[in-house]
Structure formats: C-alpha cells, structure tokens
Amino acid sequence: MGGRRYVTGNWKMHTSRAEAVALASGVVAQLQQVPAWDPDVVRVGLAPPFPFLEAVRDAVAGHPVELVAQDCHAEPRGAFTGWVSAPMLASVGVRRVIVGHSERRQHAGEDDALVRRKLEAALEAGLDPVVCVGEQLAERDAGRHEAVVEAQARGALEGLDPAAYARVVVAYEPVWAIGTGRTATPEQAGTMHRFIGGLLASFGPQAAGVPVIYGGSVKPDNIDGLARQDGIAGALVGGASLEAGSFVQIVRGVAEQARAGARS
C-alpha cells in the first residue's frame, strides 16, 4: 500500500510535566536510530495532555515530530470553563487534533453531530483533524459494526469541502480493543479498514485518498501484522506510547512496511 502513513502517540491523562518532556525527548532521540523511517512518508505525532503541549513542543523543536492535541471545543471562544478551543491549540504550535475519540463519546457524551462541529472548528483554525470511529463489543457481536462505523463516518465526513479531505486522517478504533489488551486480529482490522476506505471513496474522489489508521491496543508485537494489511495507513497508539522504546518500535514497524510497499 502506498501513500503517506501516520503514527500518533495519544498519552491520554498520563505523565507529569517532567515525565512528558523526558518521554518526548526519548522519542526524538530513538527515532534518529530508525534507518527505515522517512518523516515525509511516516508522519509521527505526540498528543500529550493539554498542560504539557508547550513543553513537548519545545522538546521536539527542530525535529520532524508533530504536536497533536487530544481534543478541542467546537466553538472558537466563549464562556466554556475548562475547555480548550482549536484556535488556542493552533496558537501554541499544535498541528493536528484528535476528535471523536471513543473515550470522549463514552465519558463526555459526544455524538456524531458534535464530532462534526469539532472537525469543522479544527479545519477553520488551521488544524488537521484525526477523526475516530469504532464500534462497541456488543455492536460487533450483533453484526452491527459496519453500520455503526458507517454512521459515525458519514456524520463526521460526508459532504465536506472536497479540499478538506486532504487534511483529514481517520482512526478506526474498535472500542472493545482499547485499553483491554485485546486487539482486533490483523484480518478483522484490515477488513474494516477496507470497508471504511470504500465508504470514504463514495463521498467523492478527494475523500478516496483519506488515510485510515488503526487504534486499539497497538503494541510492538502486533504492529507488523497490522501494518501489512492493505488499507491500514498507520496507528493511533495509546498505552504503548507511554514508553519511548515501545512507541519507536511501532514507528519502525510502520516505516519498514511503508518501505516494503514502496519497493513492491
């Protein structure tokens, strides 16, 4: 599979400031030891907690590592205590922002309409969105996983300005495989990624090129099988991104598959 790939470490609500700086610095140092990694082909990003965005920005300064935010508000400003807007994030050097993560949907009650508003807010502020979609275990067991993911993808992405699709990454995250240690098999993940790719193509020719990455207990020992699947364009990494060595091993796995794909 050709095309650009993405590996983003989502640190969620972890690290102190000192730990965040040490982790980002470790990632930068170890990435330089990955000969297969071409940063123009495999984009690497780090999504620390909001208070540490500037510290991580400074730690990766001068290196091809993107600063990513874990969420944003749908409005650019206002009386929204405790929230952070997309323009605020852009002002401190954020490049991308995750919207629609399953934990936001579950714990903050976010629905597809709100995810769409956040995506539009991100685009308006100059940020590139990483849009998460994925089904619960009961939905997969009931055979509804494709219908659920289709509804989420349509709600967020159908009918965008055609030029906007070039700035979007979709992350498929089966909710039953997040933080559980249980991972979709490479075949399960690949099948869903191809389904999402076909759905995106139905939105128009520009949407056909939107990369779809996988998130759900991604680890160094399963990334090779996942990255070999046609349609999987990288990874949104949770727990394994909290240790520099494991995260960089995942980058290595995606980079090696990208290089192999370029040769084939």
Residues belonging to the active site: 101, 173
Query: 3-state class of 165 per DSSP?
Result: helix
Q: Residue 85 has what DSSP assignment?
A: B
Angstrom distance (rounded) from CA 67 to CA 93: 7
Question: What are all long-range contacts of 154-160, with beta carbons under 8 Å and residues at least 24 apart?
Answer: 154/112, 154/199, 155/111, 155/112, 155/113, 155/115, 155/116, 156/99, 156/100, 156/112, 156/115, 156/116, 156/119, 156/131, 157/119, 157/131, 157/200, 157/203, 157/207, 157/210, 158/203, 159/203, 160/203, 160/207
Helices (H) and strands (E) in the chain, counts: 10, 8
Q: Residue 111 has what DSSP assignment?
A: -
* CB-CB neighbours of 121 under 10 Å: 21
Angle (CA) 116 189 40, round 5°: 70
Are the beta carbons of 163 and 206 closer than 8 angstroms? Answer: yes
Angstrom distance (rounded) from CA 129 to CA 40: 18
Are the beta carbons of 77 and 87 closer than 8 angstroms? Answer: yes
